Amino acid sequence: MSYKIPMGPYHPALEEPYKLDMICEGERVSDAKLHIGFNFRGIEHLAETRNYIQVIALMERVCGICSNIHTLTLCQAMEQLTGQEPPPRALYIRVVMAELERLHSHVLWAGIAAKLMGFKTMFMTCFEIREKVMDVLQAISGNRVNYSMNRIGGVNRDIDDPLAVLAMVEQLEREMVRTVIPIFTTSTTARMRCAGIGVLTHEKAISCGVVGPAARASGVPQDLRRAAPYAAYSELEFDVPVEKDGDVRARLLVRALEIMESCRILRQALAKMPSGEFHTGEGKIVFSTGTATSRVEAPRGEVMYSVSWKENSRNPSRVHVRTPTFANMPAIRWMVIGARLADTPLIQASIDPCYSCTDR
């Protein structure tokens, strides 16, 4: 006899509200239905009532963890409408901020995953390392969460001492190599709770249109930094980690390997950063009529912004955001089918969901 078990919209394993109705037979999940939309913040509508400076501040608050990525994507779209081209130094600073944010997001996720496994010691270790990443971000921007770095035509703050930032990055990399990656890749606890759990096949990943680490863990080698480079990524060397098993462990390994690649990118960007201005100046910004789109590889996957502007308008006529969690969430249904009920919190967390991004 089957029965329905709801997970959410309020549940200890969910950081934000959504609901997964699971049809169970015994302790196994036979099917699931996803429900979203419990919070409506109206950010896209509010953007239509703000000027371009206020819109940047507003869209930085779509997501607390990926705040820099949202303003980067928005500014790239608005730069197409204004003809502003950021100086080379600004492009490198954007890369530095994006990769530090990726480190922050992945280490934070690793801590939450460890907590859901019952691996409390690893949870505390990850959050200690997370503090070091936030210290670097604060040293550059002055802020720990919303960095206010991006502007049309460049960035708001320079990196005055790249060598000092590089020293912090190298210390962080040593911590990852010494602690986090060995434990997650060799620990019996991590292997028992993750291997063969929540499998998303290569074919199903493509049909569901998943993005980011969730796609790369299922053998889909897509990464906008490589496929459609932006900022200064075309001038940097890095690999795109791909796993084929499609389970929770594969998604964990992809993020662990991406942490190492982010450190590699940061070393190159800080060493190769050109001198010069970091924005185009304080001149008047004029928008052309039309719609511009921009895509960026966020820690969770592809973020896309579509920005529309009308002639002689102070405010955008439309700002639309497509976030990676919105693309990845439908795949949770296929991940939990056949899984034990006790594994479903960890499975849904393995896509690193952000419901504040989804419920805009």
Q: What is the CATH number of the domain that holds 46?
A: 1.10.645.10
Residue 1 lies in a domain: no
Residue 272 lies in a domain: yes
Predicted local confidence at residue 100, as pLDDT: 94
Residue 265: other Cβ atoms inside 10 A:
23
Q: What order do you get walking across the sheet with 301-309 strand by strand? A: 290-298, 301-309, 318-322
**Cα maximum dimension of the chain:** 70
DSSP-assigned letter for residue 279: B
Give bridge partners of residue 319 from the DSSP assignment.
Answer: 307
Nearest 5°: the CA angle 99, 102, 108 is 145
Residue 82 lies in a domain: yes
Q: What is the DSSP string of 83-96?
A: T----HHHHHHHHH
Residue 26 lies in a domain: no
Q: What is the pLDDT along the chain (360 residues), one digit of tens a residue?
A: 788 988 878 776 666 778 888 999 988 999 999 888 887 888 999 999 999 999 999 999 988 888 999 999 999 999 999 999 999 999 999 999 999 999 999 999 888 888 888 888 888 888 888 898 898 899 899 988 899 999 999 999 999 888 878 887 888 788 888 887 887 778 787 788 888 899 999 999 999 999 999 999 999 999 999 999 999 999 999 999 999 999 999 998 899 899 989 999 999 999 999 999 999 988 888 999 999 999 999 999 999 999 999 988 889 999 999 999 989 989 999 999 999 988 888 898 888 888 777 777
Contact 356, 36 (CB under 8 A): no
Contact 252, 227 (CB under 8 A): no
Per the confidence metrics, is the pTM higher than 0.95? Answer: no
Tallying the residues shown for the chain, one arrives at 360
User: Which residue range(s) make up the domain with 238?
Assistant: 39-331
Cis peptide before 86 (omega within 30 of 0): no
Contacts for 192 with CB less than 8 Å, ≥ 6 apart = none
Predicted local confidence at residue 112, as pLDDT: 86
**Structurally, how many domains does the chain consist of?**
1
Residue 11 lies in a domain: no
Predicted local confidence at residue 114, as pLDDT: 85
Closest CA to 333 of 346, 344, 322: 344
Predicted local confidence at residue 13, as pLDDT: 65
Residue 195 lies in a domain: yes
Residue 292 lies in a domain: yes
C-alpha atoms less than 13 angstroms from C-alpha of 7 in its C-beta half-sphere: 24
Residue 277 lies in a domain: yes
Q: Which residue has the tokens 């940097």?
A: 236
